[in-house]
Structure 1
Amino acid sequence: MYRIVFIIIATSLLLASGSTYADYIKQSNSGICHDPYSAYYERTKNYTRYASLEACIQNGGRLTAGHNAQTESQDSDKDYDRSRFRHWIDDNRNCLNTRHELLKSQSTGPIVRDESGCRVIHGRWNDPYTGEIFLESHHVDVDHLVPLQWAWFNGANTWNDDKRERFANDSRNLFIVSASANRSKGAKGPDEWLPPNEAFHCQYVTRYLRILILYDFAEEIRQTIRSIQNNICQ
C-alpha cells in the first residue's frame, strides 16, 4: 500500500516538475515572441514568460519574421516557385552566368575554367558561414543571403519580374558557402538560423538587414531583423 502511494506521489512530483520546466514562450524586451524552436530562445535572458504564442501576442508581442512567413506559407507553399526569380543570368553575355561570375570575382587564388570557358571549376574560396576554405567549385553553393523563398513570403510576391531578377542576381545578396551549410539554412531567416561560424553572426545579420533596406521590405520586417542585430552586435 505504502509502495503504491509512494509511486503515485513520485509520479505527481515528476509531472509537476515537468510542467514547471515545460517549454514556454519568451517575449523579449523588444517585443518579439520566441518559442523553443527559435534560434534566440536560449540567448534571450531578459523576457516576460507566457504559456503560449497566443498569450504573448495578446499582450503586445509579435512573431518573428520567419514565423510569420512560415504561418503564411502553410496554405500557399505551392504559390512559390523559384523560377519566379530569374537567376543565374549572363547579363554581360560573356558566357559566365551570375554563379560563375561570383566564383571568378571572389576567388582568392587563380581560377581554372572548364574547356568551354563558361564554368569556373577550381579556385580558392573562403566560406564565411563555416570558416572553411574550398578549392573546387562543386563543393560550394552560391547562397542567397536573404533566401528567395523567405523574400517571397515577406513581400517579394508583390514585386514585378524585373525587381525579382535584380534581387536574385545581386552580388550583395550572394555568398559562396559550403553546400552543407546552405542546405542547413534552407529558406530560414536569421531568427531561425545563423551560420556555424559565430564570429560572422553580427556581419551576417547586418548585411541581411542591409538587403532588406535596399529592396524596401516592410518596416515591421526590418525592425524584427534590427532587433536581432541589436541583440547580437553588442
Structure 2
Amino acid sequence: MAAAALAALAAGSLAAGCGADEGRTDASSGRSSGAANSHPPGRDAERARSDLASLRTASESHGDGYSRKKFGVRWKDTDHNGCDQRNDVLARDLRDVHKNGRCVVVSGKLADPYSGKAITFAKSDAAEVQIDHVYPLALAWRMGASGWPADRRERFANDHANLLAVWGVPNRQKSDSGPGEWKPQKGFQCAYAVKYVAVAKEYGLPVTSPDRSALRGFLDRC
C-alpha cells in the first residue's frame, strides 16, 4: 500500500461521531476529530481482509537487542509541519483542544478508543493520555524490524498511521502485545484491525498465527 493511501486510511479510521470525516480539521487547528470511529468505511474493511490474507505468517524472535532508542528520535517532526508527532496526534484525536502557541496541546477531551472511557487531558498530568503504537515497536523488532535500517525504524515509530492517543491504563495493559494477546473494546476492534493490518502491509511486517486469527475475528465486526 502506498504511503499516501495508508495516510488516507488512517484518517478515515479516526473521526468524531459516525462519519469518517465528521469534525476533522488539520492538526494545527484548535479543533480535532475526537474519538476513533468504530466502523471504518466498508471498503477499508474489505481492503484489510485482502491485505491480511497477503501478510506472511511468522513466529516472534526472542527480541534480543531491543531498546526504544533503536527506533530513533521520539516524536520527531517527520512530516515537517513544525510540530512534533505527539502534539500532532493529540490535536488529531482529542476534542475541545486548547494549545499553547501553534503546536503544544495543553488540554482536551479524549473518547478513549481502547476502553470507551471519557478522559480529560491536561498537560500537567500528561501520562493520563499516551500515544500508542498500534503495531508495537518491540513486537515489530521481534517480527523483523531488527534488520531494518535505522531511518526506516525511526519513520515507523513516528508514522501517524501507527499512532493513536489512548488512555494510559489500557495502553500499559497492552504494552508490546499483538492482537492475539490483547484486544480493545468490541466497538473499536474493527477500526483497530484495519489500522493494524494497514501498518503491517505498508512496512512488510508479518503477523503471528494467533494475531492473524484475532484480526480476522475483529474484521468480522466491521
Task: State the TM-score, normalized to the length of structure 2.
Answer: 0.64
Q: Report the equivalent of 1:205.
A: 193
Tell which has more relative contact order, 1 or 2 (C-alpha 8 A, sep 6+): 2
Question: Structure 2: how far apart are the matches of 1:162 and 1:93?
Answer: 19
- Give runs of aligned pairs for residues 33-112 of structure 1, distance below 5 A: 68-69=59-60, 72-73=61-62, 76-77=63-64, 79-86=65-72, 87-91=74-78, 92=80, 94=82, 96-112=83-99
Shift in Å, 1:229: 2.4
1:99-149 residue CA offsets vs partner (Å, 9 max, x unmatched): 011112222223232xx7653120122211011222214110000000000
The answer to whether structure 1 residue 191 and structure 2 residue 180 are counterparts is yes
The answer to whether structure 1 residue 228 and structure 2 residue 214 are counterparts is yes
Task: State the TM-score, normalized to the length of structure 1.
Answer: 0.61
The answer to whether structure 1 residue 169 and structure 2 residue 158 are counterparts is yes
Unaligned runs of 5+ in 2: 1-56
Question: Structure 1: how far apart are the matches of 2:162 and 2:208?
Answer: 16
Q: Report the equivalent of 1:215.
A: 203
Q: Report the equivalent of 2:108.
A: 123
Question: Structure 1: how far apart are the matches of 2:90 and 2:194?
Answer: 23
SS of the residue 1:125 aligns to = strand
Shift in Å, 1:188: 0.5
Tell me the C-alpha RMSD between the 2 structures: 2.2
Unaligned runs of 5+ in 1: 1-63
Bigger Cα Rg? 1
Over 6 Å off, 4+ runs: none
The answer to whether structure 1 residue 151 and structure 2 residue 140 are counterparts is yes
Residue-pair matches, total: 158
SS of the residue 1:194 aligns to = coil
Question: Structure 1: how far apart are the matches of 2:216 and 2:77?
Answer: 38
Question: Structure 2: how far apart are the matches of 1:230 and 1:93?
Answer: 36
